[in-house]
Amino acid sequence: MEPEDQPQPSDSVASALSSAPTQVVDAYQGLPLTAVQVNPPEPAETRFLRWAFLGNNGIRAGWSIAIFLVLFTCFTAIAGTAYFLISGHGHFGPSKQPSQTPQSLTAVRQIVGEGIQVFGLLCATAIMALIERRRITAYYLAGPKPVRHFVSGLVGGFAALSALVGVLYLGHWITFGPVALSGIAIVQYAALWAIGFLLVGLSEEGLFRCYFLFTVTRGFFARPLGFWLAALLSSLLFGAAHMGNSGESQFGVICTATIGFVFCMSIRYTGSLWWAIGFHAAWDWAQTFFYGTADSGLVAKGHWLTTNPAGNPLWSGGSVGPEGSLLILPIILLTALGLYLGYGRKPQPATAPALSSVLDQS
């Protein structure tokens, strides 16, 4: 008996075998088996570059921050150069520089300098949001009840600075002089300084506690302490950035870093940056315009009340202003306590970097 004829693959199967060598086909049933893609191995150099630059969620945090800072510097320089060409004024940077005299701290200069920085921050953050496929509000600008938290921060900032000035006055470490403004000038300067210090709050909080804090949290530190470690780093840099201010003291730098950490607490407790922006703006407005105290050694042109330090500079703050007084520390601690009592004991809003879905591999 002759052996039974073996079934032959159909013409369609033969065609598939010849045209798609990466696909294995069952010659008896004419059905495709599991496809096997044959690719050359990825070079080691490519794998290393991919690991160095990319994490689980795109560009690694360190490179993201570097790109953000480059963009911020470029857009700030562009805006500053444009202002210089249009206005003809040579100075368009921050309002507090070592080379300036106290008379150079003006509302217009503050608005221009801080406005340029806010423009650079907005452009840089918007581009990074596009790259990372996030909304710009994801960087601690969304959160629940932003208007309510902003207004609460305004009230808290004015109240905290007023409490500090009140203690200094009761302890005879500060004296009040004659009122410096009257009539319509009070309203004009109040509005100009309000705009200027709102821009200060937006620029400084936006630089240290917006994209930067968000990215450091997601990229470098794991939960549960990740946010607080990132907050500590952000606060230290915030204090160091004020070392170049004319008239600033070492103690003032320490206090600046401390209040920076309290601002990070407000983000954790409220879910957004708006309380800190309001507090920051109102504190500076009350200090510079309302009470007329020195701010980092500078007395502004166009303040309402007039105050002068008296007695031991450790208590009065001396030429630095109230921020150089030892009494600012209990004010900061009371502010932190008020934040905790007002927001910290409530269920905390889910902040974006706290979610495991946005954590990069460090």
Residues 35 and 64 in one domain: no
Closest CA to 145 of 263, 266, 262, 272: 272
Residue 106 has pLDDT above 60, yes or no: yes
Cβ proximity of 282 and 274 under 8 Å:
no
pLDDT tens for each residue of 216-270:
988 766 566 788 999 999 999 999 988 877 677 888 889 999 999 999 999 999 9
Residue 136's pLDDT is 93
Query: What three-state secondary structure class fits 311?
Result: coil
Structural domain contains residue 22: yes
pLDDT tens for each residue of 283-339:
999 999 999 998 877 788 899 999 999 989 999 998 888 988 999 999 999 999 999
pLDDT over 90 percentage in the chain: 54
Residues 5 and 119 in one domain: no
Cβ proximity of 47 and 35 under 8 Å:
no
pLDDT tens for each residue of 151-171:
999 999 999 999 999 999 999
Residue 101 has pLDDT above 90, yes or no: no
Residue 92 has pLDDT above 60, yes or no: no
- Structural domain containing residue 1: 1-43
Residues 20 and 91 in one domain: no
Residues 187 and 38 in one domain: no
Residues 280 and 140 in one domain: yes
Residue 112 has pLDDT above 60, yes or no: yes
Residues 31 and 64 in one domain: no
Say what the pTM is: 0.79
- Count up the domains in the chain and report the number: 2
DSSP-derived secondary structure for 88-156: --S--S-S--TT--GGG--HHHHHHHHHHHHHHHHHHHHHHHHHHT--GGGTTT--S-HHHHHHHHHHH
Residues 68 and 32 in one domain: no
DSSP-derived secondary structure for 321-355: -GGGSTTHHHHHHHHHHHHIIIIITSPPP--GGGS
